[in-house]
Structure 1
């Protein structure tokens, strides 16, 4: 999924990296029926820490980008009913 990631500008500016954990409900057709951020672990790699406002904007932008990727995803479902899975997306600055 990392190939579809567009690292958000607020996260780049604040030097924020980390993990965003998302709970997905996948329907029998493999489409995501529900997606929700359930936990986040983020930190800034900058020597001078960004402001709390910048960190909040960076975190919100990473969450939005994570949800964008998962809403667009299609999964191969093993059962004929909806499954709930929790997945994590990891972001590293390059």
Structure 2
């Protein structure tokens, strides 16, 4: 697994816990995605923010197929994400 592209939440950036910008803002804390040890995150190649794969609808097993991934905020200025698929 690529360290730039995906990581589990056992790691932190600059000693700060990761916070997913795409997590639902809800009064019910149980509606928010957690920072459990099995959560897979993906980093935007535009702004370097980290997102839960669940929150951005990217299956964890497809994370490494992305050459470049842009979050919803960066998409208008950076263009679409690109993927590499291997043919079996």
Q: Same fold (TM over 0.5)?
A: no
Q: TM-score range by the shorter chain?
A: under 0.3
TM-score by length of 2: 0.26
- Higher helix residue share: 1
Greater percentage in strand: 1
Name which structure has the greater RCO, CA cutoff 8 Å, separation 6+: 1
TM-score normalised according to structure 1 size: 0.25
